[in-house]
Amino acid sequence: MVRVFIALELSDEIKDQLTSAQQTLRGCRARLTFVEPKNIHITAKFLGEVNEKDLPKVKEALKKIAFIPFPVTVEKITVNNPKRPHTVWCAIGDGGKGEKVFQLIEDALAPLGFARETRSFTPHATVARVKSPDPSLFSALKVLEKISYGCCTIRGMVLKKSTLLPQGPVYEDLQVFKW
């Protein structure tokens, strides 16, 4: 069994910009676990534990998804839930294209037995996880709220393997699907 997900990759320039936002967040008293900048991405769909013998079917289904590259803007950094924050993320502006890709992925993988997501797709990229909140987190977010982190073009998707280690996850590209 391997833990896998489908990602939409952001440019290295955007990841560099998000590193500076993480530095600001490090100044708050909330206990945060930061995502390695190289690992920051938009999750299109988390598949969970998949039997390795089923991976060729997953790859074949994803290979059939045709889409046109589309621009994204990495917008303000916020939290998933202001009352009980678990995730610090940057909102992604994509004109609804991410939702369309998500629906194509859902349609491609449902026949293989992957459950459809019950929540609506919210394009975002996680920059930190909140282990213990503190009001100073919201002060740091206020500093970051008017900053834009850049634009890039999503040119495909990546099937990634995630290996969880005590020091954090290690991602490995299993296959890149270009549009």
In the chain, helix, strand, coil percent, each to 5? 30, 40, 30
The CATH number of whichever domain residue 152 belongs to comes to 3.90.1140.10
124 is catalytic: yes
Mean pLDDT over 160-179 rounds to 94
How far does CA 117 lie from the centroid of its chain?
Answer: 15
User: Rounded distance, CA 62 to CA 172, Å?
Assistant: 17
Per-residue confidence (pLDDT) for residue 126, from 0 to 100: 96
41 is catalytic: yes
Per-residue confidence (pLDDT) for residue 105, from 0 to 100: 98
pLDDT tens digits for range 143-157:
998 898 999 999 999
Residue 77 belongs to domain spanning: 2-178
Q: Which residues contact 10 (CB under 8 A, 6 or more apart)?
A: 40, 41, 42, 72, 74, 125, 152
Among residues 6, 28, 41, 144, the one annotated as catalytic is 41
The pTM score is: 0.93
- Count of the separate structural domains present in the chain: 1
Among residues 14, 124, 128, 141, the one annotated as catalytic is 124
Per-residue confidence (pLDDT) for residue 175, from 0 to 100: 97
pLDDT tens digits for range 84-103:
999 999 999 999 999 999 99
